[in-house]
Chain A
Amino acid sequence: MNPTTFSELLTDISDEYIVSAANPHSKPIRWYQVSAIAACIVLLISAAIYPKLRIQTPEITEPPESVEEVITTMTTVQKLAEHSETQTATSPIQTSFASAAVTVNTTANISEFITANETDMPLLSVSSVNTTPTQPQKSIEKAETEPIITTHTHAVTTSPITSDEPTIQSDEPIVSQIIAIPIYRTEVQPLTTSITPNEISCYFYDPTADIISEFENLPDDLDLSNCTLICAEISGDIQNAAIIRGKIINDICQLYIAYLNENDTLDNVQIKYLLVFPNELNIKSDQLSANIIPVIGEDFFQILLEESSQSITIQY
């Protein structure tokens, strides 16, 4: 046999291979190829979107040691905080939070929380924490001495900056108003109803007389004519929770709720808060939303709880 005869021998190969090679382009795409391509596209899109959606939950294990540490933390989360401001300002009212939903917003909330606390004082130093809740002036002074902090007033803009609005070029910081509103809290009560593990929810409603009577520390001389009472009912598989601050954006009052869930045991509890809003804020129960923040470290949670035991600040 020589190459020429071998080439002639090739003439008799299977018809299938001859026809297949006649039109190599015109082969139909098989179903598994379509499936594989579709799966690849889905994976690519998921890979592109997922990292943006999934924001890691930073663990707050203990309060920062110094002002410098707080500033460093704030600097790293500054952009995240500004970004989340825009998002949360336009988000619908949310009165119930599943654990998954909470995780998505956690970083933004914590970053805002930290940003807010740069003016609210409690996070600045453990040793210098004053249990009296009316301390914000002191911390503002401290914050204003740091040039980085003063620029962070941008993070408390009352409305999101959209492309239609003129970009703020001025060096002057945007000044927001802060008001302290009294709050009253019930003890942590065990909840008999079944709750999904790791779920936490918060409901806002206008309290009835029976509900108000549950708050034993409510002063007798509270003038209800000048204020609006709103009850916040926090329940879930947690150890404790505390409303720590609030912010009014676009007529929606967002309350930041820190909760503690150190151990894995199912602790179904309920905590009720009575919020005393001045009438000038014109807040209704359906204008409230909750941003729920997990806190790690019982000591740190106790600090937050004590700081907000009598009043919380509302930015508007």
Chain B
Amino acid sequence: MNDQAIISLFEQRNEQAISESNQQYGALCRSVARDITGNDEDAEECLNDAMLAAWNAIPPAKPKNFCAYLLKLVRNAAHDRYRAAHTMKRNAANIAGSIDELAEIIPDRGDVVSEVERREMIGAINRFLQGLPQKQRDLFVRRYWYATDISSLSKMFHMTESHVTMTLSRLRKRLQKHLRKEGLL
């Protein structure tokens, strides 16, 4: 079943939309949630939260890319869980490593971000990603969006772990330079 058909099921308030979404993107969503939260139970709950959010949002929302839409919902849910676990000093998984890496370029100035600043930042990141070769862009997104660990990335992209680490380090520096150039850092 394609994305458009699944969205139609959501619009018809047909519960089959949930099962079809699960069948189509469940595995991918679980892996994203697992990499961020660090355990399967939380990942499953994140997926359920995301499905519920989708059920509530569609309609009126009509996502152009249902896969990305669902993944974003899962990621948001997983981030919420990560934040709660981090506050309680529970050990989170791969996302902690990627956030530590981002700490090299993003100075800690509190967690309050205005909506304007947020939009500008997202635009700047999109422009940065647009200027990257596809392989480097996928690597960056895999590491900092999907929170995939280094060893999995090295297998996924047929690179050595040191090569992956080095490439990511260079990408972070490029991002920092880019954000400074746009006046966001």
Chain B interface size, as a band, is 35 or more
Q: Is A32 an interface residue (CB 8 A)?
A: no
Chain A interface size, as a band, is 20 to 34
Q: Is A19 an interface residue (CB 8 A)?
A: yes
* Chain A residue at smallest Cβ distance from B141: A21
Within 8 A of A (CB), among B63-100: 64-65, 67-69, 71-72, 75-76, 79, 83, 86, 95, 98-100
Contacts of A15 in B (CB 8 A): 64-65, 67-69
By the criterion CB–CB under 8 Å, are B72 and A18 in contact?
yes
Q: How far is the CB of A27 from chain B (nearest CB, A)?
A: 8
* Chain B residue at smallest Cβ distance from A18: B68
A25 to B99, CA, bound (A): 25
Q: Is A17 an interface residue (CB 8 A)?
A: yes
By the criterion CB–CB under 8 Å, are A4 and B122 in contact?
no
Contacts of A4 in B (CB 8 A): 83, 86, 99, 111
By the criterion CB–CB under 8 Å, are B138 and A13 in contact?
no
A10 to B72, CA, bound (A): 10
Q: Is B182 an interface residue (CB 8 A)?
A: no
Contacts of A11 in B (CB 8 A): 72, 75-76, 79, 145
Most chain A CB inside 10 Å of its own CB: which residue of B64, B79, B98, B139: B79
By the criterion CB–CB under 8 Å, are A2 and B125 in contact?
no
A14 to B122, CA, bound (A): 9
From B103, B139, B141, give the contact of A3 (CB < 8 A).
B103
Q: Is B23 an interface residue (CB 8 A)?
A: no
By the criterion CB–CB under 8 Å, are A6 and B142 in contact?
no
Complex interface bits, A1-36 against B, C-beta within 8 A gives 1, otherwise 0: 111111111111111111111101101000000000
Q: Interface-forming stretch among B7-15, B37-45, B51-59, B113-121?
A: B113-121
Q: How far is the CB of A92 from chain B (nearest CB, A)?
A: 50
A13 to B118, CA, bound (A): 11
* Chain A residue at smallest Cβ distance from B25: A22
By the criterion CB–CB under 8 Å, are B113 and A24 in contact?
no
Q: How far is the CB of B185 from chain A (nearest CB, A)?
A: 9
Helix, strand, loop or mixed for chain B's interface?
A: helix
Q: How far is the CB of B129 from chain A (nearest CB, A)?
A: 5
Within 8 A of B (CB), among A132-168: none
Q: Is B171 an interface residue (CB 8 A)?
A: no
Q: How far is the CB of B105 from chain A (nearest CB, A)?
A: 8
By the criterion CB–CB under 8 Å, are A21 and B142 in contact?
yes
Q: Is B2 an interface residue (CB 8 A)?
A: no
Contacts of A25 in B (CB 8 A): 156
A1 and B121 in contact (CB under 8 A), knowing A18-B72, A25-B156? Answer: yes
* Chain B residue at smallest Cβ distance from A9: B121
Within 8 A of B (CB), among A27-83: 27
Contacts of A2 in B (CB 8 A): 103, 106-111
Contacts of B141 in A (CB 8 A): 13, 17-18, 20-21
What are 25 A-B residue pairs whose CB atoms fall within 8 Å in the complex?
A1-B106, A2-B103, A4-B111, A5-B113, A6-B121, A7-B79, A7-B95, A7-B98, A8-B76, A8-B79, A9-B113, A11-B145, A13-B122, A15-B67, A16-B65, A16-B68, A17-B145, A18-B67, A19-B67, A20-B138, A21-B137, A21-B138, A21-B142, A24-B138, A27-B134
The 10 A-B pairs of least Cβ separation, nearest first, read A15-B68, A21-B141, A15-B65, A3-B102, A3-B103, A2-B108, A21-B138, A18-B68, A6-B106, A24-B138
Additional 19 contacts, C-beta under 8 A, given A9-B121, A12-B72: A1-B117, A1-B121, A2-B103, A3-B108, A6-B106, A7-B98, A7-B99, A10-B125, A11-B76, A11-B145, A13-B126, A13-B145, A17-B138, A17-B145, A18-B141, A20-B138, A21-B138, A21-B139, A25-B156
